Structure 1
Amino acid sequence: MELSVASAVRSCVRALRPLSGRPTRGAVLKDVLLGLFVWIPAALELGMRHWNAGPAAVVLECAAALAAVAVTVALSRPYPLVALLVSVPVSFWAAWFSLLMMVMSYLAGRRTATARPALLAFGAIGAVGVLLTPWAPRAWVGSVSMLMFTIVFLWLVGRYRRQHLELMSAGWERAGQLEREQRIIADQARLRERSRIAHDMHDSLGHELSLIALRAGALEVTPDLDERHRSAVADLRVSATTATDRLREIIGVLRDDSEQVPMEPVGEGVYALVERARNSGLQVILLREGEPAELPPMADRAAYRVVQEALTNATKHAPGAAVVVRLVHGPEETLVSVVNEPPPAGPLPVGARGRRGLIGLRERVRLAGGTFQAGERDGGWAVTALLPVHPEETDTAAAGHAGRTGGEEWSEIADHYRRAQRRVRWGLIALVGFPVAAGALLMAGGLVIMLYQSFVSAMSPEDYASLRVGQDRASVEDVLPPQEHTVPLRDDAPPEPEGAECRHYRSTPDFFDTDADIYRICLSGGELVAKDALPPITASIPDPAP
């Protein structure tokens, strides 16, 4: 028992703690609009109710209502349950304040993290309702119904909305995490490809430097060379040897230890690669168009790597499928295309492709100043690279790539999330906002019409008292209001005089005054034949005096 009480006390203390974070300007603007949305119809109701008391009473009542709404809405962010408890007694002030209580119920479920404080608040509201009506069991039923449908139900709606948003946010966060992991994998693939480029540089430059050192050594031992030139050639040989050693050291640092030793022959071209793949059993055809142009070393090696990776992927993911390699040489660019047909045994499972090699190819082709595309085509797979013969500086492309994946941390998932939020927001506005706005306009129009009818169909008690039975019709109609008040009468109301034309008017222009009498004026034969002050339908008719 003591543990239960202590737990309840701790829940109450947690409920009284303010929620963290200061509201933004947008949140404050929403709160102001919410307060005005609730206060304006309630102020109209209170103004009509206290119209006869004078303008000062109306202004004072509306100002007090505005203060109550402002305090309740201001508490709804840091103390949502406290705002709900405040809105319950305020709802008895005016009928329109029930809307404030329902909104606070929804916001309490939307902004409260745990359910126990809210359950304690509901219990407190129900207990107070029972204590205020201890000898009225019928009132208990109404109190419980009000508690269930205007407070608990809307709190559950807000609670569901909070959990739905948390679940959706967790899903998007998970998607963002997967995207970040994929970005890391792509960065690793790019770095691995750059390591391979460094290795290619070592093979090509090291070979050229070795030839320079070899030729310098041969020149150094020539018998007819004088000492001055022999010394210069010796310095050249030493410099070439030193450059080769330094290049080997630098490439050794840059190279990934986990990278496999390349198995293809050094300096192998695309033609030799395709021939070697055909000899190994792969159904591959090489098509050449145009005069072969001499590509820069980076572009030439990129073309080789594109064909090599595409043939490897075709062997791995489409075994038995025919492959077509096309080399289209032009004066300014060379097109490298590798297309494989669908595998005869059907497509492999979806998870079979890691696509790290394609990421590395894209990076290599980009560094060579070209463009790269890869994707499905007619059930098979196509890899295409367009390499320039005279590449421009790649600083701009590299800067654009770094801006997309570097400091700005552009995220495709986050972009999709923002677009999804906008679609959901506008969809919610279209689904809920338009019907609510239309209903509010209809209600406002109906309220204005009823208020106008109450004004133009009201007869003051003084005018009613001035009328006399037997008075001529013309003088009676001069006193009557311009419009008649249409209201149902009680079944036990006095019957109308036979053959008379009866009209009904309100005794006050206050539409919300449910205790106002109904004046019935009956005319017949050009004179007033009867007048009655009937109680409203909600009141009982007193017995006639003996």
Structure 2
Amino acid sequence: MDVTARAGDLWRQLAEPSQWSRRRVVGESALTAVLGFVTAAAEYLGGHNGLRIGLVTLAAVVCSLARRALPVPALVAAGALSGYAGGGALLITVVGWSAGRRIDGVLRASTAFGACFGLYTVLSLWPWPQRSVVPFVFGTVLFLVLAVFPALAARYWTQRRTLLRTLQELNVQLLRERRMVAGQARMRERQRIAQDMHDSLGHQLTLISVHTGALEVDPQLTGRQREVAAVLRAASMTAMRELRAVVGVLGDDTAQGAEASQGLAGVKSLVESAAATGTPVSFTQSGTVRALAPAAGHAGYRVAQEGLTNAYKHAPGAPITVSLYYEPDSLVVEVVNAPPPETSGEIREVVSGGQGLSGLRERARLASGMVHAGRSTDGGFRLAGVFPYESATSPADAPGAPAAFDSGGDDFGWQHDAAASGEGGPVIDRLDPLEEFKSIMGARKGNGLLVGCGIAALLLAAVAVVCLIGVLSLGREADGVAVGPRDYAAVTVGDSEAQVRQRLPARQSAFTPGLRDRVPAAPAGASCLVFGSGPVWDGSATETVYRFCFMDGKLAAKQTFRVPR
């Protein structure tokens, strides 16, 4: 059953269309083309035949495409291919990076990279050089640079991205919980204010309504006085209704309370009430009536109410005009009053403390509108509000909403993941510290950041030791490369092999086989030693090579060759 499930998962990773987005198809195609071209070019420059070039290129392409679904086999195959073919250096770097991201567990990763290193070393150094560790040392350093270091860098990069993503999730969670706490505190405060308003203002408005009702039927009052008393009683009753609506809004903390409040339909009633008191007020309306959101309609009503109130207080007796303009894209609510007659064109400060206009501006902002207040050209005052017909933006688009972030899903890029930070996500009331630590350091045992850092430190120490051994071995090998002109002249043909060997370096160097390939073939039946003349890097295009051939225990020939470097 497990084998079947794994086979199904593997098939989905390799062939399911949802796993191959357009971005991934383009990236994989470009990367595979580059790896195939580099491998084929290296094999071609190496002088290999067409069959080998095709097979090696095909193997590189398969390793590149399978490195995500099969990281361990792809890594081992890339190591073998890089050791066998000289053009696999870039391939093993790319596959090593991908394997560092996807191979879980220290033991599994160590085994995979150990097998990769073994195949890489055996195939790259075959046939094995005798009595020399320099090729092995340099091969080890090269493998660390090409495969291990990219894997460690990819592991660090992945864990850093995981840590960042976890911190972002925790930040979104904390912001959501903070909004919940703030909302609960605001709800309690609103309920307290609503209770106070109901207990204090409600009682006073009830008394006003009762007394004005009594005055309205008092036979000692004139007709005009009864009209004024009726207006006061109607105003107190309207104030009671609005108070109940406001108390409902404060108590419920929902947008439904705005629907119970006065909307634009109440603007005409405001004008009629003001006209009944003898105030010279007029009402105009233009354009096609269109529906507004409840919050915008209520804000427009408050603009008209505040404008009339300010005109009563600061310009008594001045003509007032209340207008509703239904423009193609928005509604304009405007209240304009002329200068008061006693000031001859001068007007006092409209707002004392600015609380009324500040509240209007905030209410208009919440309804996606705006408020303008200022003097008119004739010395009066103008208060206007502009409100859109459409509803306000959604909470997800509102300023301050947490932005979505990316989560890693690709070797070298990020895939957008908006659902991770959306407002509709679950709210966790309590975070377990142990689970939080596991989510940051890695969900699987032995796969955390601390373990990765320890392994990286050990590998760096191993690299330092290997480099030191390599330097010492290189110095030792250098002693077996060069023969000076004096040593060459000091031996003569016919000397015994033992005497000649005493004057020459004690052993052959690992670089000697390269010199042998650049000189003519040795005489039949002779045993020859080949040495360079040093210095090795003197800037010239050629170098001098000495060859000493022995036969029957004596020096049979000594020769000098000038060979290209």
Q: The TM-score by the shorter chain falls in which range? A: 0.3 to 0.5
TM-score of the two chains, using structure 1 as the length reference: 0.42
TM-score of the two chains, using structure 2 as the length reference: 0.41
